[in-house]
Chain A
Amino acid sequence: MADLISLHGVTLGYDRHPAVHHLTGGFACGSLTAVVGPNGAGKSTLLKGIMGMLRPFEGRVDLKGLRRAEIAYLPQQAEIDRSFPINVLDTVLLGHWRTTGAFRTVKAPLAAQARTALAAVGLVEFEHRPIGSLSVGQFQRVLFARMLVQDARLILLDEPFTAIDSRTTLDLLRLIEAWHGQGRTVIVVLHDFVQVRKHFPMSLLLAREPVAWGTTINVLTPENLAQAKAMSEAWDEHAGRCERGPTT
């Protein structure tokens, strides 16, 4: 299947230190991929690079004409002000940004879609609750409802189940599988190998350098995991310049 995203020798990082080093490959259209690897392996950095929030030092991220509005992105530590006076329904309605933009009105069908999304995440009677009154798990459901409404072709999730109870995790995993079934491309950063083996057909094992990328069964082998672990996590403050040529 054709790729929705192609990475051509992509190097991303901070302060000239690479966090993702010379990554080449593609996320197939409609694929469901788990990005795994040790801490500091560059998983979150890769998602930021795909979102265009971080410019590659080298190489190129090719989104094949996918527009920003067609991507839904849930960062790891969302900078959300949970004390802000906004209710659940209004939060979910923001998912219609592609339609409403900053200025257009929210018409009745859009509101109906938002209510359907709330029902799909199991929060039927929560519409008018202020978000500050929700538990962490309930709030994560609200954010998933907002992504349902976004109706995006590409969905990027960065450790969406950290500090989330197991029941909510299962419900949200079902939503991810439903997105996969609808032909959307989904990329999820995860730590739990059991979840990955059970729910994710494709995996990318990163340890700054790509270790393996392909079907989960072939990626999550003991040898690959050992190799990923062995790759140094700490960066060398005085590392010299990388002399590797661009790989395209």
Chain B
Amino acid sequence: MTEGSDRPLLEMIGISKSFGGVQALRDVDFSLRAGEIHGLVGENGAGKSTLMKIIAGVHHDFQGTMRLDSKEVHFRSARDALDAGVGMVHQELSIVPDLTVAENVFLGKQPVTSLGTVDWKRMVRESREHLAGLGIDVDPTTRIGALPIGLQQLIELARVLFSGARIIILDEPTSALSPPEVELLFTTLRSLRDSGRSLVFISHFLDDILRISDTVTIFRNGRKVSTTPVAEITKRQVIEQMIGVGHQELEESYTGEIKLDTQFDAPVVMETEGLTLGRSFRDVSLKVRAGEVLGIYGFMGCGQIELARALFGKIMASGAIKLDGKLIRLARTSKARDHGIAYVPESRRAMLFHHEPLYKNMSISILERISNILLKPASERQIARGHIETLHIRTPGPDQLLGNLSGGNQQKVALAKWLTHAPKVLILSEPTRGMDVGAKEDVVRIVRGLRDQGIGVVVVSTEPETVLSLADRILVMKRGEIVREFAGDTVSKDRLLEAA
């Protein structure tokens, strides 16, 4: 084993891959040793996911050579790769929420008795042993959907391991986890490494990458920039290599104290009193001032997403919501819209029409203002052209289908919908999730611009960086309640995490 650990377990030489004329990977070399955790970083579209999908057999049409144990291999499918010992845990978990833990662990290969029926006893026993081996203590007969997301992820990891994987690729495994869950995951990953398995860890969370990895490889624009032992590189250097130039605003949000620019005397536009919704959130009283960005931070599942939806009338909560001092009832989203409340949800798919042209996507929220009965496509296009210009949306024109735009540009379209007539309150749920650094900065700039117009902006996020880079005042939510306010002073990521 000691001799072998110098020779790479997996070697990829001169890998290139293009999608319909777009070069996703250019002549990339990559190697993975036995018993290491290898971090992969890069902006969206840098090529890291594409490379991993080649290793995992998802993409099989590429140029270059791949060697496993010094033997040349070419996987035709994910099944092929798994048979050879390469497994992948995708960001969107592929568990079946309504089945039990044991059924999920044994999905597709349930043990059978001599009669040909499922051997439940063996399934439960073996999955308990197997999970215990990973330090996971959970009743295998529990419905998996009832478990916290962190455990679900570990169980999916267990399933991949159970299939005999020696190389495991984890795509953004920490994005939905709370810090204790991350700790649990990391402990498990370290013990896997120590047992000789190789792990590839793809993430946008640089702190996580730097903490867990032995080696880090950085991608930019489809090329590999460097592969370095983690001990020899700092976060600043990683960021510099990832993006090429110094992006000050973003770096600041990572390191040290942030000064909150809280406006204490600005008028309150929106106010809630004792807002409560079942198990999601309780007794939430908050004020949103004109011309401020109010950040609401909390871990996944602390109720902040539901709170945002309730402020837009997507779900009805009990308690009082006041707008400009007047009590309002938000029975449905169209009421909220009529009151001048705008909302951009966390998922682009949930807020855009992919088959429809840009201008229809942008005009949908304001149709009632620009047309009584008959539509006015000319003015819709006119408005769309204005947004395309001011928000720097990269597209040939307003008739382009939305589905043809890149993710970051789609996000801008989602914002543009609400900007034709300035809302009083703009609620943004996870506005920068999954975005690359450049697109994040665009969002920061746009949001600040809106705030400066006097709009009350609410930013709800589970990413501390997002809240820190945008907010003028921060509320921290914990298990459905607001537990802390940061205002008028400085705040740091540590203290934010501590409060949550």
Query: Are both chains from one complex?
Result: no
State the A residues within 8 Å of B (CB).
none
State the B residues within 8 Å of A (CB).
none
